[in-house]
Amino acid sequence: MAYDERTEGLAERAAKGDTAALNELLRVIEPDVLRHCSRFLPCRQDAEEACQDALMQVARNIGRFEGRSRFSTWLHVVVANSARSTYRSLKRRSVEQVGELPQQRPDPHRTSVIAGSRVDILDAMEDLERRKPDLIEALVLRDVSQLEYSEIAQQLNLPLGTVKSRIHEARKQFRQSLGDDYS
């Protein structure tokens, strides 16, 4: 999600309370937000739910965007958090409806390899977030949002070396969570 100066300007104006700028900003970013949510969530309806949640979060919290980093960087965090939140919500609903989640991996005959892998990855992300919450944000910004290390350091307000160390440790923990199938 890289945006031109016009979009960055819309974000700045929206952050200062310009409602027309906010409405235009939401219209402009919606296709990219949906595309990013689809990277996290294999089912189109789930991705759309996460997209709507992310757009609502942008609308509610745009006043917190201070312009210290690019809007696109700020938006990456909002979208990743929204997709993870939607995933957790779907997982909870599934447990409530079924009673208990199956402990085996998705059936490859009934689930595409990509969708099954994404579910495994989301489970591993949730596990890492629960065990090592300081690591997950840097990992998502680097490996999902594909930000540069320097952008991540700026976004998280951390030294570059700390960011690199967290990402390295997160990847190691992530591989352990996923097991032998992904090593």
Q: 108-183: which CATH architecture?
A: Orthogonal Bundle (1.10)
183 — pLDDT class (breaks 50, 70, 90) = very low
Task: Provide CATH 1.10.10.10 ranges for the chain.
Answer: 108-183
- If one compares 165 and 80, the residue with the highest pLDDT of the two is 165
Tokens 């909002």 sit on residue = 78
Q: Supply 118's token pair.
A: 């994404």
- pLDDT of residue 43 exceeding 90, the answer is no
Q: Which of 14, 103, 105, 99 is nearest to 60 (CA)?
A: 14
Amino acid 15: pLDDT: 94
115 — pLDDT class (breaks 50, 70, 90) = very low
pLDDT one-digit tens code per residue, 48-76: 999 999 999 999 999 988 877 788 878 88
Average pLDDT over residues 137-144: 79
Q: Which amino acid is at 49?
A: E
Q: Of all residues in the chain, what percent carry a pLDDT higher than 70?
A: 80
Q: What is the model's pTM?
A: 0.61
Mean pLDDT lowest among 80-94, 113-127, 137-151:
113-127
- What whole-number distance in Å separates Cα of residue 54 and Cα of residue 83? 8
CA 16 to chain centre: 25
Task: Provide CATH 1.10.1740.10 ranges for the chain.
Answer: 1-101
Domain spanning 1-101, CATH class: mainly alpha
